[in-house]
Structure 1
Amino acid sequence: MREMWIPYAQVEEDWQLIDVRSPGEYAEGTIGEAINLPIFGDELRAEVGTAYKKKSVTEAKRRAVKAVSAQLPELYERFLSIEATGRPIAMFCARGGMRSQSFASLLRAIGHEVFVIEGGYKAYRQHMLQALHTLSGTRRFIVLHGNTGVGKTLILNALEEKGLDVIDIEALAHHRGSMLGRVGLEPQPSQKTFEDRFYRALKNAKSNNLFVEAESKRLGRVNIDDTVLAGMREGLHIYVDAPMWFREQEIVREYTRMEGAKQELLAIMDNFRKHLGNETVDEFVALIQANDYGPVAKVLMERYYDPKYEYTSNQYTYDLKVWVESVEAAAQEILTWYRQSVVKDA
């Protein structure tokens, strides 16, 4: 049987990772698609930590052993179900210490070849952030700019279908980066999970050219890394525009397609009162309650979103400008430009 300890850099893509930290630690951030097989639950972890600080190391270990020994049959059965996939297995805890080392040692003692990632999740985070910074400097971002509702995300999806490398930052963040950015979307990931997702998207790109949408630093409760933002500023820039009828149609489709979106929209309307006044927002509420979303979308674009975006859009010199009435035609125009002006000049 090979040496138990392994640096994360030597873990292959097809390996199955097992995170033995508590559910709370796992929820805050893990390594890619690692499976959570907690040695300690959140309460036990807190209890052991308290015993360690206020009593002694021996007492902390005593409590841990007593609690974990009762869980071993269940932990072992869960491990066997993971092992049955046939993939090599590496475990980790916070720092590659007691939890992962103890469980892996026990499994290896009864004939299972498992590995422990050196330094645990903390070492992985250092590796990942360094790689994120490096990749952000070596990839070339091709950034789509444009007002709300011009179809930037739809165009990105179409470009991805045509085989180009795309990172949908808003999909990674579960946020559209605006006042209505959370409507109809799943809960946002933690900052650590968002960074991990971004790193993997950069790492797994087939080429050095990545299409993204222009974003501000903050998307809800997560922030885009400064090196990513710098890479986006230094990239190529495409300005996307569309007629108001197209934008109104796209805004209504995007913000009403999910179940429960109507109630979310009504709950958020009060946030616009200081920007648009009580009379306008009261009209919005009445229109939404009547399922008449088009006029609301049009006024929001004309009086709120477009004026806010104008300053930012004027900061760039654009390599291409695209008028959108058909997402497919716009994506094809960008693809043609890409092949003739980007790939050809590379």
Structure 2
Amino acid sequence: MNNIKTISIDELDANQYLLFDVRSPKEFEEYHIPGSYNLSIFSNEERAVIGTLYKQESKEAAMERGLQVVAPKLPSLYKKIHTQSNENPEKQVVIYCARGGFRSKSIVQTMNMMGMKTLQLDGGIRSYRKKIESTFRKMADEPRNIIVLEGHTGTMKTKLLKQLQEEGYPVLNLEEMAGHKGSIFGKIGEHPSSQKKFESRLYERLKKLQKSSSFIIESESKRIGRVVVPDFLLEGKYSGVRIHVELPFHLRVQYICNVYEPLLHKDEIVEAVNKLSKRIPSSIMIDIQQNLNTLNYEKVVALLLENYYDPKYDYAQQQYDSECIRLYSDSYQDIYSEVKNQLDQLLS
């Protein structure tokens, strides 16, 4: 029974194996190995109770309670794994938990008893975290060329990066990975990532770009929402070539309104504006509040850009002394073409 077969994280490929994460829904939501299915054997509440038993009473008491909770669920768990396995007959099932311990081991043993050849991920998802951490250390030791796309708020940098990535350029879209647009309004309409989920998304993207000698990123601060950007990217940001894009003010205002859809997020917009009240002159804040009340969001955005975001950006730009290529156009398509031309020269 204890001679179950394991697989290491280095051998694991989600395209070749069927992955099941038996941790709780909360653990799975925080981060998981991409492509895996959540097959929680404990609910969030059950895991908390068993964890308390482990700490306050004993390992044996926790295991006994765990068996009581899991036993009635085994037929359902088997059915879920069996169904997915039938739909993917070419893939062998791999089960993982936090550290390759009791949870995954018990399910692997049960599935094997039922005639389903199942593997346990050695070290659990912790081995995946160690893989991510070692990759980041390697990136720090072997830095790539960083090309930084910069510009005032609303110059469609995220849209540019997304289109560039779709066309095969080595883009690291950090805001997308963070689930945050990077400003005090950044979480509106988004699902912010945990630090571990952000790093997982970055790691998976870096794997796809491992043969690239350069990365393209947006000019970001150390923190995007609640996640922290690795130093190896920040250091590259200050030394890399910068492409500064500029668009007409009215296009920036329209773009921001389209992205944030303020009519769908009225309360969140008001809450974010209020957080800026101490950083903007009171006379300007009165004007902003009046336009918020009349739902004149274009005027609100224009006032915020003129009195907060643009001055803040201009001040931050003074810390750079790296090469900067400045591009200006009066349309998105033209600025995209100009950016592509510059990238093609830099990447060649």
Tell me the TM-score normalized by structure 2.
Answer: 0.90
Q: Does 1:42 align with 2:44?
A: yes
Superposed counterparts of 1:176-191, under 5 Å: 176-183=181-188, 185-191=189-195
- Output the CA distance in 2 between the equivalents of 1:67 and 1:35: 20
More divergent stretch after superposition (317-326 vs 212-221): 317-326
Superposed counterparts of 1:1-346, under 5 Å: 4-14=5-15, 15-86=17-88, 87-135=91-139, 137-183=142-188, 185-205=189-209, 207-256=212-261, 260-314=264-318, 315-343=320-348
Deviation per CA, 1:2-28: give whole Å up to 9, x if none. Answer: 971111011124023211111222222
More divergent stretch after superposition (74-83 vs 105-114): 105-114
Deviation per CA, 1:85-112: give whole Å up to 9, x if none. Answer: 3133221111101111111122123221
**8 Å Cα contact 1:18/1:37 also seen in 2:** yes
Deviation per CA, 1:59-98: give whole Å up to 9, x if none. Answer: 2222211221111111111111221231332211111011
Between the two proteins, the alignment pairs up a number of residues equal to 340
- Output the CA distance in 2 between the equivalents of 1:244 and 1:284: 18
Q: Unaligned stretches of 5+ in structure 1? A: none
- Output the CA distance in 1 between the equivalents of 2:256 and 2:206: 29
Amino acid aligned to 1:189? S
1:228: how far off? 2.4
- Output the CA distance in 2 between the equivalents of 1:3 and 1:259: 56
1:224: how far off? 1.1
Change beyond 3 A, Cα 1:26–1:156:
same
- Output the CA distance in 2 between the equivalents of 1:78 and 1:341: 50
Secondary structure of 1:275's match? Answer: coil
Change beyond 3 A, Cα 1:294–1:58:
closer
Change beyond 3 A, Cα 1:153–1:55:
closer
**8 Å Cα contact 2:177/2:202 also seen in 1:** yes
- Output the CA distance in 1 between the equivalents of 2:87 and 2:72: 26
**8 Å Cα contact 1:51/1:60 also seen in 2:** yes
- Output the CA distance in 2 between the equivalents of 1:91 and 1:111: 15
**8 Å Cα contact 1:149/1:250 also seen in 2:** yes
Secondary structure of 2:193's match? Answer: coil
Change beyond 3 A, Cα 1:48–1:253:
closer
More divergent stretch after superposition (100-109 vs 205-214): 205-214
More divergent stretch after superposition (278-287 vs 118-127): 278-287
Secondary structure of 2:242's match? Answer: strand
**8 Å Cα contact 2:148/2:237 also seen in 1:** yes
- Could you tell me the percent identity over the aligned residues? 32
1:138: how far off? 4.4
**8 Å Cα contact 2:194/2:227 also seen in 1:** yes
- Output the CA distance in 2 between the equivalents of 1:124 and 1:220: 24
- Output the CA distance in 2 between the equivalents of 1:10 and 1:97: 19
1:334: how far off? 2.0
- Output the CA distance in 2 between the equivalents of 1:124 and 1:12: 12
Change beyond 3 A, Cα 1:202–1:324:
farther
Tell me the TM-score normalized by structure 1.
Answer: 0.90
CA RMSD of aligned residues (A): 2.2
**8 Å Cα contact 1:155/1:328 also seen in 2:** no
1:259: how far off? 5.7
Amino acid aligned to 2:251? F
1:290: how far off? 2.3
**8 Å Cα contact 2:147/2:214 also seen in 1:** yes
Amino acid aligned to 1:249? Q
**8 Å Cα contact 2:247/2:331 also seen in 1:** no
- Output the CA distance in 2 between the equivalents of 1:18 and 1:290: 51
- Output the CA distance in 2 between the equivalents of 1:317 and 1:51: 57
Q: Unaligned stretches of 5+ in structure 2? A: none
- Output the CA distance in 2 between the equivalents of 1:127 and 1:162: 28
